[in-house]
Structure 1
Amino acid sequence: MSIPGNTSLKSQSSNQSVKSDFSDLNLGFKVITGFLRCQCKGNLLSEIQSKRTELITFWLVWFSLFYTTFIIYFCLAVRQDCYSIVKLLENNGALFNDWFPIIIVMATVSLIYELILMVFCIICLASGGQVIVSIFHWALLSGILVLCFILTFLVSKYVPHLWTVAFLSLKIFVPFIHVLSLIISTNFSWIFYRHWFKISQKVERIVWMTIWLFTLSIFYMTPLIFNSPFMKANLAPKPGIIALGGASNVAPENTLIAFEKALHLGAAGLYITLHFSKDQVPMIISDSTVDRTTNFRDQKLLVNSQIKNLSVKDIKSLSAGSWFLKFYFPLTTVHPQYAHSFIEDNRRPANLSSLEQLSAAFLPLDAFVDLTIQDYQVLNVTTVMQDVNTKWLFSLAWAAGASYVTTYNVELLKSISIPLFYLDKEIYLTIWVSVDVISIVATTISFLTQKPSS
C-alpha cells in the first residue's frame, strides 16, 4: 500500500536533484563562457544573421586551427633539415638563431586556445544555441593567422626547399594522416549536415555539399595522391652513408677530427668541397666565406671574409674549432684550413666532353617528389640523395632505393636497422579500404539521422 505523501516527497526530492544537476551544469558552462568572453544564446538574432555569424565564426576557428596545426607539423618535419636557416641567420649577423623553440611554443599555445574555442562552438551548436564570439577573439584569431601567413611568406622567399622536405614527410606519414583526417571529418559530419539542412537557398545547399563531398573525396584518395614508396613488397638494400664535413654533429665541420670520427662511426665515404684562396691554394671549406665556421668576426685585422680574397696566411690565423680541442682533446692546435663542406663542387672542369659516362648521380630532394631516382636505377646509375639528416627522410631514401645518402648525422642514420613505418602493400590496402568504408557508412548514417522528418 503506497502512501501519497511519501510519493510526493520522493518526486519533489527527485525534481530538486535534477534541478541541482542542471544548475551545476549551467554554472560550469557560465564559468567557461565567462572565461572565454563568449556567449551561447538563442533567439537573439534574425535567422539569416544567426546562420552567417555561426558559419563565419566556426570556419574562422576551424581554419586557424588547421593552419596552426600545419605550422607545427611543418616545424617538426623540417627541424633537422634547417641547416640553411641557421646558416642564413648566422651569415646575416643574427644574435639569436634558435628559432625552433620560439615558433613551437607560440604555435602550441595558439593551438590549445583554438581547441578550447572549437570545443565551445561544438557545445553551443549541439545545444541548439547561437555562437557569439567577442571582438577580442576575432582579433586574436586574426593575429594568429597573420603570423602564420608571415612565416609562410618568409619560408617561401628565403628557404623554399623546406616545402619539399615537408611534402616528402607526407609520403612517410600518409597512412596516419589518412586515418586521422577521416576520423576528424567523420565525427564532425553531423555538425555539417545539421546546419546544411537549415539552409533555405537551393544554390547555397548545392555549393556547400559540393565542397564537403570534394573534401571527403580528397581524404579518401589521399594514399593515391602521395604515392608512398613504403607500400611495396620488396625492400632495397640499406643506402651507404656519406658524411658531409665528417661527423660535423660531434666535431668541428671538415676538420681532421671530424673526418676520423665519421669513418670510425661507419661512414662509407666523405664529401668535401674545395674553395681556392687568394694565392690559389685549395681549401676544404663549404661556404664561400669564413664567417660561420671560424672566429673571423673576432679578428680586427681582417676585413674581407671571402675566401678568394684571403691568403693562406690569413686563413691560418683563424680558428675553426679550438673551442672543441680545448674541452675534448689534449691538443693545442687546430687545422683551420679544414673548415667546412658544402654539397656542390665550385671548381668544376670547364670542358665536360671527356666525361663519357656518369657513374653516379647526386640528386636533390626533389627527386623523391617526381620519382627521378627510378629513372636512374633503370640506367644502372648509382644514386646519391643529398641532405638526408633525419630518420624519416633516411627511411624514405631507403624505401625509394637510393644507393647512398649524404648527411651531417652519421651516427643517427647508422643506428637505423629498418625503415620507419615500412608496411606491406597488401596490408595497407586492407587498412585503406576498411577505413574508407567505415567512414562512408558513418557519414551516411549521420546524414540520415540529421535529416528532418517530412
Structure 2
Amino acid sequence: MVFISPLFIYSPCISYMLPPKPALVAHRGAPMLAPENTMMSFRRSLRYAPLQACGVTLSLDMVPFLMHDSGKGFLHRTTNVDAVFPNRTYNSSSDITWEELQMLNAGDWFVKTDPFWSVSLLSEQEKTVARNQTVTSLSELLELSKERNISLIFDLNVTQFYNIDNGLIVCLCVLFWFFLQIWWLHEGHRECVKKYYPGFHQVYPDQKTLRNDNGSWLNMKYSTLSAEEIRSDDLRSRNVKVNLWVVNEPWLFSLLWCSGVSSVTTNSCHILKDMSQPDWHLTPHVYKIIWITADLVSLLLMFIFFLLQR
C-alpha cells in the first residue's frame, strides 16, 4: 500500500495547465512593513499590489476614517489613545471626533510591539517615519488611489445604532466625489448602493448570497472554500471572480494559485509578489516519474539491505 499510495493523492498543483497568477490585494496596506491602515503602509504596498483592502468607520462628526478594530476599546491596539485621553472610554467610533483622532499616534505601537517580527527589515529612517504615523482619513487614501490609479476593496464598519444611514450617505458621497473603482463588501444597504452607484463591484461573502443575487464577485476566508469548489463548473460557468483572505504563506498562496483563485488578500504582498511560479507545481507525467523512481530506489535499497543482513 505504501508504494501505490501516490495513486490516491490529489493536489491541484499536479496538473498540465497552470492558471494565471492571482492578483494581490494589500490588506490594510503593507502591515508587515509599516503600521496598518496608515499612509506609510498604503504607499509601501503600492510597490507590490494594485488593489487595496480597507475597513472604513465614522467619527462622531461623521468623518470617514480607516480602522479595522471595532467595538469596545477599538482604538487601544493601534493608537496611543490611553495616553492622550486616559480618562475616557471608547465603545465605538461615535465616541470620538475627527479632530481628536488627529491628535493620536498610529505608528509607535508597530515599532514597539513588532507584530510580524519584521521591524528589523526597516532602516532607522523608516522606523522614525513609522513612529510618527497618524490615523488616516478615507479622503487621504482616495487621493492616493486616484493619483496612482488603484482599486479599493471597501468595507463599511458602521456599528453606531443612530447614524448608520447618515454614515452610509456620507461615505458614498465621499466615494462618488473621487469616482474610483470600488469593491463593495458591506451587506447592509446593498440594494441602495446598487441602485445609485451601479459602477461599484458588488462582492459577496458566501456562495448562496452570490447565487441568489446573480453576482460575479466572491470574497471568503481561505479555509472556507476547497480547491474543488474553486474549480467547480458552477463558478467557472458564471465567470465568478474569487478573492480569498487572508493569505500570507507562500505554500498556501501556491495551493490557491494552482486552484485558480482570481486574487488573494494578503499581509505579505512584498513576499508573494516575487513568486514567479507556485511551489511544487508538477505535471502528472513528471509526478509519475518521481513516484516510480522513488519506489524503484526504495525497493533496490530494501533488496540490498536484505542481502547484507543475510
Corresponding residue for residue 228 of structure 1:
11
Structure 1 position 395 matched with structure 2 position 254: yes
Corresponding residue for residue 336 of structure 1:
135
Structure 1 position 407 matched with structure 2 position 206: no
Is the alpha carbon distance of 1:219 and 1:313 closer, same or farther for their aligned partners in structure 2, counting shifts above 3 Å?
farther
User: Which residue of the other structure, out of 313, 316, 319, is the alignment partner of 2:105?
Assistant: 319
CA distance in 2, matches of 1:416, 1:330: 29
Kindly indicate whether structure 1 or structure 2 has the higher relative contact order, using CA contacts under 8 Å at least 6 residues apart: 2
Cα deviation code 1:185-215 (max 9, x no counterpart): xxxxxxxxxxxxxxxxxxxxxxxxxxxxxxx
Q: Quote the sequence identity (%).
A: 29
Mean Cα deviation higher: 355-364 or 252-261: 355-364
Q: Secondary structure at the match of 1:385?
A: strand
Corresponding residue for residue 103 of structure 1:
none
Which aligned pairs between 1:279-428 and structure 2 lie closer than 5 A? Answer: 279-288=61-70, 289-299=74-84, 300-304=86-90, 306-321=92-107, 327-328=125-126, 334-337=133-136, 345-347=156-158, 348-353=186-191, 354=194, 357-367=214-224, 369-375=226-232, 376-428=235-287
Is the alpha carbon distance of 1:389 and 1:332 closer, same or farther for their aligned partners in structure 2, counting shifts above 3 Å?
closer
Higher helix share: 1
Could you tell me how far 1:393 is from its partner in structure 2? 1.9
Corresponding residue for residue 96 of structure 1:
none
Higher strand share: 2
Q: Tell me if the contact between 1:286 and 1:342 (Cα under 8 Å) persists in the aligned partners.
A: no
Is the alpha carbon distance of 1:439 and 1:284 closer, same or farther for their aligned partners in structure 2, counting shifts above 3 Å?
same
Q: Tell me if the contact between 2:65 and 2:135 (Cα under 8 Å) persists in the aligned partners.
A: no
Question: Which 5+ residue runs of structure 2 have no aligned equivalent?
Answer: 112-123, 139-151, 159-185, 195-201, 203-212
Could you tell me how far 1:407 is from its partner in structure 2? 1.0
Work out which of the two has the higher radius of gyration on C-alpha atoms and give 1 or 2. Answer: 1
Which aligned pairs between 1:27-426 and structure 2 lie closer than 5 A? Answer: 217=1, 220-221=4-5, 224-225=8-9, 227-263=10-46, 265-288=47-70, 289-299=74-84, 300-304=86-90, 306-321=92-107, 327-328=125-126, 334-337=133-136, 345-347=156-158, 348-353=186-191, 354=194, 357-367=214-224, 369-375=226-232, 376-426=235-285
Q: Tell me if the contact between 1:296 and 1:305 (Cα under 8 Å) persists in the aligned partners.
A: no
CA distance in 2, matches of 1:272, 1:445: 61
CA distance in 1, matches of 2:99, 2:277: 48
Question: Which 5+ residue runs of structure 1 have no aligned equivalent?
Answer: 1-216
CA distance in 1, matches of 2:14, 2:28: 34
Which aligned pairs between 1:440-451 and structure 2 lie closer than 5 A? Answer: none
CA distance in 2, matches of 1:233, 1:331: 45
Aligned Cα root-mean-square deviation (Å): 3.9
Q: Secondary structure at the match of 1:273?
A: strand
CA distance in 2, matches of 1:276, 1:258: 20
Corresponding residue for residue 168 of structure 2:
none
Amino acid paired to 1:316: Q
Count of residues in correspondence between the two structures: 233
Q: Secondary structure at the match of 1:314?
A: helix
Q: Tell me if the contact between 1:285 and 1:342 (Cα under 8 Å) persists in the aligned partners.
A: no
Is the alpha carbon distance of 1:393 and 1:358 closer, same or farther for their aligned partners in structure 2, counting shifts above 3 Å?
same
Q: Tell me if the contact between 1:392 and 1:420 (Cα under 8 Å) persists in the aligned partners.
A: yes
